[in-house]
Structure 1
Amino acid sequence: MTEEQTQMLEGKNKILLFRKLSEQSTEAAKLAFQTEHTFSYSRDLEQITTKDGTVIQVGGLESEVSIEAIQAKKDPLGKMLRQSVIKGEKLELWEVTVDEDLKTSDGKYPAIYAQGYLNEWEDPANAEENATISSTFTVEMEPQFGEATLTAEQEKAAQYVFRDTKPVTEGEPTP
């Protein structure tokens, strides 16, 4: 086995970004500070017994994303997500795998894109931990697989990059 075959994908490198569908021409997607999320796919399989054996009838695909995140003070994304549940607003969601080894030559990362709705919102508040949110995003139709570009601000929020010890001079690109 080669080294490339044995490298593992780390869950911390999969980030979620959200945006209201109605704001797609004016806003960049915003990063959620999730501690955990699960992207799940399922479909009902109905077994029909016939005289010749069992036949399986395949139902439609159902997808959802379960989200656990910490709340930042004055977090505009948290407020927007809560309001989208209350108002029933359609959202866009991206799961982007921010792994430099998977980044394409044109600077894009592997991603899953979906449209849908948050169908629940919980604000648990434990006395000994950070305030968190818990929500479920229900995907409408099928998620799409492709590549996504992150803005410099999104990349910076996802993970800072190595910087040199010398000061950055004006006009010099910053990593």
Structure 2
Amino acid sequence: MRFSKLQLFAEAVQGKKIIYLYRVKEESATEDAMQLAFTTENGRTKSKDADSTATKDGSIRTPGVAEVEITATSILSKGDTLIEKLETALDNDQLLEIWEVNLEEKGTTTNSGKFKGMYFQGFLTELEKTSNAEDMVEISLTFGCNGNGKTGYVTVTAEQQEAADYVFTDTQKTGA
């Protein structure tokens, strides 16, 4: 089996090292961005309609703008204020700010102390609360983003970095 140089030195990024931070846009002067407690899964999908159409002058119209959707699933924490803020934003059509941060990609020189990330603005389009009698309450969120997002470097507090190192685990035995 042959490996390329990239494969020999590549390191995989663990899912817990990609975090998402959220804030209601109109609170940007008074509130820091927050992350969900006990996140179990995050996702970002970028899609574009690939249909091309011929115009009257014979030219081909290419696909439109990409659509970005961000999803998050977490276990509900007692006293969680972020979920309340996000639900209120959904009810009131408030614009949200969302940061996707890769904690494995630290900034250098002018971005020292920051992490590579993407910034989005958009709306919470779906909130689902699932409460099975035998499990923890689970919150699933879907965000529709405006535009493609912007890349840059993001400030992440030490507390937020520590939270990313922990994955929610129940108290029951996990096996052998």
Give the TM-score range, shorter chain: 0.7 to 0.9
Within 2, Cα distance between the matches of 1:158 and 1:57? 40
Q: Percent identity?
A: 34
Within 2, Cα distance between the matches of 1:35 and 1:98? 17
Matched residue count: 156
Match of 2:128 in 1: 122
Question: In the alignment, is residue 157 of structure 1 matched against residue 160 of structure 2?
Answer: no
More strand by share: 1
In the TM superposition, residue 130 of structure 1 has moved relative to its aligned partner by: 1.1
Question: Is contact 1:113-1:144 (8 Å) kept?
Answer: yes
In the TM superposition, residue 3 of structure 1 has moved relative to its aligned partner by: 7.4
Measured against aligned partners, the alpha-carbon deviations of 1:103-157 in whole angstroms (never above 9, x if no partner) come to 1231111111100000111111112211011111000122111110112332233
Within 2, Cα distance between the matches of 1:103 and 1:47? 40
5 Å matches for 1:1-175? Answer: 1=5, 5-33=9-37, 34-48=39-53, 55=60, 57-99=62-104, 102-105=105-108, 106-159=112-165
In the TM superposition, residue 78 of structure 1 has moved relative to its aligned partner by: 1.1
- Gapped runs of 5+ residues in structure 2? 167-176
Within 2, Cα distance between the matches of 1:143 and 1:4? 32
In the TM superposition, residue 4 of structure 1 has moved relative to its aligned partner by: 7.0
More contact order relative to length (CA 8 Å, sep ≥ 6): 2
Measured against aligned partners, the alpha-carbon deviations of 1:16-67 in whole angstroms (never above 9, x if no partner) come to 11001001111110011321111111111223379xxx95621111101011
User: Scaled by the length of structure 2, what TM-score is found?
Assistant: 0.80
- SS of the equivalent of 1:84 reads helix
In the TM superposition, residue 2 of structure 1 has moved relative to its aligned partner by: 6.0
Question: Is contact 2:17-2:165 (8 Å) kept?
Answer: no
Measured against aligned partners, the alpha-carbon deviations of 1:76-107 in whole angstroms (never above 9, x if no partner) come to 111111111111111100111112xx212311
- SS of the equivalent of 2:69 reads strand
Question: Is contact 1:41-1:63 (8 Å) kept?
Answer: yes
- Gapped runs of 5+ residues in structure 1? 161-175
Moved over 3 A (4+): 2-5, 47-50
